[in-house]
Chains A and B, each alone.
Chain A
């Protein structure tokens, strides 16, 4: 399966800061990547689908102006949390979609803590 690298693994910053998270597909050219958010002891909730060369598709209730997604190449998607506040503190995970019917492979996540 695809090898996915996510960076940074942990971020602690002050309220009002913007934070960028990178997701790289190391061995697979990914036209589609996904961004999830996971709160403690809860499951993964899809935030958006990142499409290479076009605009991301956001799930209902996710603010596109707050969570900026850029997928400029087949190996890199970035999620920027703009003007982050404590309620944005969470575990953010990206995944790479393989071929039709194939499983998604996930990065190791980014723990974001906003003080």
Chain B
């Protein structure tokens, strides 16, 4: 069974304090790993797709990396507006396009 585990469950940082969020996964053949940001009361907003180990993607203060067992979302010098829940999801190869989500990391950036 495909599984995604995110850690930590919650993280509080001071503005400017860099850190990383972890997403560990087991999947029967990875088609893609996706990172989303979700604000309270809203649907997830797409951030990155990673397809193979060693791949990296960057967007503003965020950088996502991928190995064969886990993905990291690095946040550099975060700002209060980066506060949100960050969700990781995997899509397995073999037909269906459905996603399996992790529990998410609730990130709070204090000014």
A93 near B43 with CB under 8 A, answer yes
- Chain A 90-115: CB-based contact to B (< 8 A → 1; otherwise 0): 00010101001111111111010000
C-alpha spacing A107/B51, complex, angstroms: 24
C-alpha spacing A104/B51, complex, angstroms: 15
When A43-B102, A101-B32, A103-B34 are in contact, do A49 and B42 touch as well, CB less than 8 Å? no
B43 near A104 with CB under 8 A, answer no
Contact size range, A: 20 to 34
C-alpha spacing A42/B9, complex, angstroms: 10
Q: How far is the CB of A95 from chain B (nearest CB, A)?
A: 8
Would you call B69 an interface residue if the criterion is a C-beta within 8 Å of the partner chain's C-beta atoms? no
Would you call B25 an interface residue if the criterion is a C-beta within 8 Å of the partner chain's C-beta atoms? no
Q: How many A-B residue pairs have CB under 8 A?
A: 57
Measured CB to CB, the nearest residue on chain B to A100 is B97
Q: Which residues of B contact A (CB under 8 A)?
A: 31-32, 34, 36, 41-46, 49, 51, 87, 91, 96-104, 106
Other than the known A101-B32, A109-B41, A111-B41, what 15 A-B pairs have Cβ atoms closer than 8 Å?
A41-B106, A44-B44, A44-B87, A44-B99, A46-B99, A49-B97, A49-B98, A100-B97, A101-B31, A101-B49, A103-B49, A104-B46, A106-B45, A108-B42, A109-B42
Specify which chain A residues have a CB less than 8 angstroms from the CB of B96 in the assembled complex: 49
B41 near A1 with CB under 8 A, answer no
C-alpha spacing A102/B31, complex, angstroms: 10
C-alpha spacing A89/B92, complex, angstroms: 30
